């Protein structure tokens, strides 16, 4: 049942503010910077502190997979010495903390918004751990990754096997001795598997359907080619995959050690054990068995197809513009699976840790407004919803590839500003 609009529970004690921003990450800070430039009073609620997710939910060797020059939050472009490098975890935290310090946003750290709902006479009530508020407009800038996903069959694994979500992994030395099973091959899963592999740990990897990308091609960083060709400016509505592009897993590659592509076939040739997608876990007495779908070759081939498609699009761009760029040898797979393993005995393989790297689910249960689809995702166009005065910012592919990233979240915030500012002028004129 969709909650109806209501009047505030505490109309006398609730504080009022023209605009409230929920979330003090890069999206919320970008919105705050723009509002402050326009002189629009607002408040930013952050349940932890600035840069919390980067500080507390990333492993020690984590780094960006996009070059530093793409860090271009409003009023705070990257100003370091390595624009084509990839910031490490601590540098990302410092970048965001420096941004907040540069303009002193009206930030309420350690404050969670537990309920948001529209009011009959306009505006919104926000119940927070720091008291009640009424806002004329609200920007939800909490991103789209909230709750770590762990399958129910994980419950069947014994307590002797350490289980972690990727957001809780820190480094190889923090894990018990023994082999490690990593489930999932998005960016986190692949990079964590590599981190363990480089540390000499025996890694078993359940390979999903994530695509992969080249890092450097024909003498130039692929992100540079895609920027020049205009790919990053394509709105999802004009994208060949249309709405479905929002469902796609990010391409895996890494910025580690100056940046490189990740080829799971090479890992296999070096001793990493690869399987298809995780299916279920079973327990029969002392025997703990994990089962996989027999789609390893298919998933590797599809990842390569994506890799080759990116190369082909760059080739077309180079040819169309008559650009001189060194040719590159055709891609040749370095390893092929000779079988499709569908089961793994954890004890026999010496596996003491399982890392679940299968993503996050969105959680908007605290938002009581009729703006979600049947899967609980916000229905919006460029962040503007069907509820007057309620906006989203920082969602993956909210408008373009860079919407949920340092690269273009500022552009999306500028678009929302042009909706927010006129409404604030109208309200002031009417008062």
What are the tokens at 108?
């309420």
Average confidence (pLDDT) over 11-25: 90
Q: Tell me: the pLDDT tens digits for 394-424?
A: 999 899 999 999 999 999 999 999 999 987 7
Q: Which of 137, 25, 136, 145 is nearest to 384 (CA)?
A: 137
Model confidence at 239, pLDDT cuts 50, 70, 90, reads confident
Identify the pLDDT of residue 7. Answer: 38
* pLDDT of 244: 75
> According to the model, what pLDDT value does residue 430 have?
62
The Cα angle at residue 253 between residues 247 and 60, in degrees rounded to 5: 105
Beta bridge partners of 164: 355
Range 328-334, long-range pairs (CB < 8 A, 24+ positions) = 328/217, 328/218, 331/304, 331/307, 333/265, 333/300, 333/304, 334/263, 334/265, 334/266, 334/269
Q: Specify whether the CB–CB gap between 53 and 168 falls below 8 A.
A: no
pLDDT digits (tens, 9 = 90+) for 51-97: 999 999 999 999 999 999 999 999 999 999 999 999 999 999 999 99
Angle at CA 295, nearest 5°, toward 294 and 296? 105
Per-residue pLDDT, 8 = 42
143: burial class by Cβ within 10 Å (0-12, 13-18, 19+)? buried
DSSP string, 243-269: GGGGGPPPPB-B-GGG-B---HHHHHH
Looking at 3.50.50.60, 3.30.1330.10, 3.30.70.2740, 1.10.4030.10, the CATH number of the domain 15-146+362-430 comes to 3.50.50.60
Distances (CA, A) of 204 to 59, 286, 330, 404: 19, 20, 29, 31
CA–CA separation, 274 and 288 (whole Å): 18
Beta bridge partners of residue 284, listed in sequence order: 287
* pLDDT for 279: 96
Q: Where in the chain is the domain with CATH 3.50.50.60?
A: 15-146+362-430
pLDDT > 50? residue 221: yes
pLDDT for 429 equals: 61
pLDDT digits (tens, 9 = 90+) for 268-324: 999 999 999 999 998 877 788 999 999 999 999 999 999 999 999 999 999 999 999
Cα 408 to Cα 30, 118, 291, distances in angstroms: 10, 29, 40
How many residues are given for the chain?
A: 431
For tokens 């919105």, what's the residue? 31
């Amino acid at each position: 049942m969709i909650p109806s609009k209501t009047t505030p529970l505490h109309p006398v004690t609730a504080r009022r503010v023209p605009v409230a921003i929920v979330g003090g990450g890069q999206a919320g800070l970008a919105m705050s910077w723009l509002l402050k430039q326009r002189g629009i009073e607002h408040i930013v609620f952050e349940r932890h502190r600035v840069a919390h997710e980067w500080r507390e939910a990333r492993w020690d060797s984590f780094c960006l997979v996009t070059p530093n020059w793409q860090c271009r939050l409003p009023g705070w472009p990257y100003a370091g010495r390595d624009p084509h490098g990839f910031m490490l975890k601590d540098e990302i935290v410092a970048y965001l903390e420096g941004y907040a310090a540069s303009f002193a946003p009206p930030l309420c750290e350690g404050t969670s918004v537990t309920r948001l709902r529209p009011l009959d006479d306009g505006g919104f009530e926000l119940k927070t751990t720091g008291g009640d508020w009424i806002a004329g407009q609200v920007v939800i800038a909490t991103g789209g990754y909230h709750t770590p996903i762990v399958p129910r069959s994980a419950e069947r694994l014994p307590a002797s096997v350490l289980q972690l979500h990727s957001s809780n992994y820190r480094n190889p030395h923090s894990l018990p001795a023994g082999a490690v099973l990593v489930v999932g091959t998005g960016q986190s899963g692949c990079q964590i598997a590599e981190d363990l592999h480089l540390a000499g740990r025996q890694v078993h990897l359940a390979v999903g359907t994530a695509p992969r990308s080249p890092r450097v091609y024909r003498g130039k960083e692929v992100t540079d080619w895609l920027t020049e060709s205009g790919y990053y400016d394509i709105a999802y509505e004009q994208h060949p995959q249309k709405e479905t592009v929002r469902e796609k897993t990010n391409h895996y590659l890494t910025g580690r050690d100056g940046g490189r592509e990740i080829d799971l076939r090479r890992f296999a040739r070096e001793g990493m054990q690869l399987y298809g997608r995780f299916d279920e876990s079973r327990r029969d007495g002392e025997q703990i068995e994990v089962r996989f779908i027999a789609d390893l070759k298919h998933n590797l081939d599809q990842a390569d197809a994506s890799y080759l498609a990116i190369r082909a699009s760059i080739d077309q761009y180079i040819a169309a513009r008559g650009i001189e760029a060194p040719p590159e040898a055709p891609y040749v797979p370095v390893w092929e699976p000779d079988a499709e393993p569908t089961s793994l005995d954890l004890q026999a393989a010496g596996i003491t840790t399982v890392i679940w790297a299968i993503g996050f689910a969105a959680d908007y249960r605290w938002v009581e407004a009729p703006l979600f689809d049947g899967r609980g995702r916000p229905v919006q166009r460029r962040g503007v919803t069907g509820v007057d005065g309620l906006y989203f910012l920082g969602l993956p592919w909210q408008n373009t590839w860079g919407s949920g990233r340092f690269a273009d979240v500022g552009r999306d915030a500028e678009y929302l500003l042009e909706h927010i500012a006129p409404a604030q002028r109208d309200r002031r004129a009417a008062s």
